[in-house]
Amino acid sequence: MEKISLHIYSMGSHPAPPDWRITMPVKMQRLYYIKSGIGWMIDDAGMRIPFEPGKVYLHPYNLLDRFVTDPDAPVDHIFFDFISTPPIISPSPIIYDVATHSSIFDMLTLIDRFLTERMKGETYYYRRGAVNGVARPSLMEQNQIMYNLLETLLMMLHFEKPLPFTSDAAVRETLEIIRQEYASPLTVSDLSTRAGFEQNYFIRRFKNVMGVTPYAYLRSYRLLKARELMAGGCTVARAAELVGYENASSLSRALAENTTKD
């Protein structure tokens, strides 16, 4: 598998709440491993695809899937909401059967344990500090572990069934520019010029691959970064400055408009 850059927005391992219903279009990639329960995804055409225990479902960036669970038998799952550069692009979700005691199953078991311990033990670790002379990992170090585990899992899945990363060189280059320069005053005009295309053609080409316009992707990426900063204690004003918004008010409005209802 080629080298990729990852940004994890959220992750966890637990049952979905009985009223779990992600009704807004997905603006990132999602990886689900279904442990038990009843649920399904609904594609843009309204077709239901049921979740089956023991399978990994990888939802590419370009799809507008929605997700629902049976309130009487909620889905219990491992999940990652993330963006990769280059992105995974496919006309349908990529589904993997995971055989019990296979290497992928063992990796998922390890990830499950790390996620569970992370959720339950974070405050405990910080409170106790060093144990037996060994310092507990910081939150940043714990996050780095999870990034490494997700990248390894994606690599293992890729060897089982190749992940369809986009091959469009112009789109890949644009995404890398956004990843590195999202805090600067980038415009679609700038991006089209750097890609070497007329602006309207560039927008169409980008949207054909990604399912969204360059402006929408840049906006979404900035908001993901802003949420990450604020979750770490950054003020709205400082987050706005760091992700390329004019001021706190403009960032607050954008966050309110882009809130996903689960």
Along the 262 residues of the chain, how does pLDDT read in single tens digits?
888 888 888 899 999 887 776 655 557 899 999 999 999 988 878 888 899 999 999 999 888 778 888 889 999 999 999 989 899 999 989 999 999 989 999 999 999 998 988 777 654 444 445 555 566 667 677 788 899 999 999 999 999 999 999 999 999 999 999 999 999 989 999 999 999 999 999 999 999 999 899 999 999 889 888 988 887 788 999 999 999 998 899 999 888 876 543 3
- Boundary-marking domain end, from 122, 146, 167: 167
Write down the pLDDT at residue 58: 95
Considering the domain architecture, whether residues 94 and 149 belong to the same structural domain is answered as yes
Considering the domain architecture, whether residues 247 and 156 belong to the same structural domain is answered as no
Considering the domain architecture, whether residues 163 and 211 belong to the same structural domain is answered as no
Give me the domain span that covers residue 69: 1-167
CATH code for the domain in which residue 184 is found: 1.10.10.60
Q: State whether residue 49 is helix, strand or coil.
A: strand
Domain-located, residue 241? yes
Domain-located, residue 46? yes
Considering the domain architecture, whether residues 50 and 126 belong to the same structural domain is answered as yes
Considering the domain architecture, whether residues 156 and 182 belong to the same structural domain is answered as no
Considering the domain architecture, whether residues 101 and 210 belong to the same structural domain is answered as no
Q: How many CB atoms lie within 10 A of CB 128?
A: 10
Write down the pLDDT at residue 50: 93
Q: Locate 62 and state its tokens.
A: 């370009």
Considering the domain architecture, whether residues 29 and 109 belong to the same structural domain is answered as yes
- Boundary-marking domain end, from 140, 167, 194: 167
Considering the domain architecture, whether residues 86 and 193 belong to the same structural domain is answered as no
Considering the domain architecture, whether residues 13 and 124 belong to the same structural domain is answered as yes
Distance of CA 237 to the CA centre of its chain: 25
Write down the pLDDT at residue 124: 44
CATH code for the domain in which residue 16 is found: 2.60.120
Strands (E), 60-208: 66-69, 76-85, 94-97
| Number of compact structural domains in the chain | 2
Considering the domain architecture, whether residues 206 and 163 belong to the same structural domain is answered as no
Considering the domain architecture, whether residues 184 and 121 belong to the same structural domain is answered as no
Domain-located, residue 239? yes
Write down the pLDDT at residue 231: 79
Considering the domain architecture, whether residues 75 and 30 belong to the same structural domain is answered as yes
In sequence order, what DSSP letters do the residues of 184-223 get, joined into one string?
Answer: S---HHHHHHHHTS-HHHHHHHHHHHHSS-HHHHHHHHHH
Domain-located, residue 262? no
- Boundary-marking domain end, from 101, 134, 167: 167
> What are the CA-CA distances from residue 59 to residues 4, 135, 202 (Å)?
17, 37, 25
Domain-located, residue 190? yes
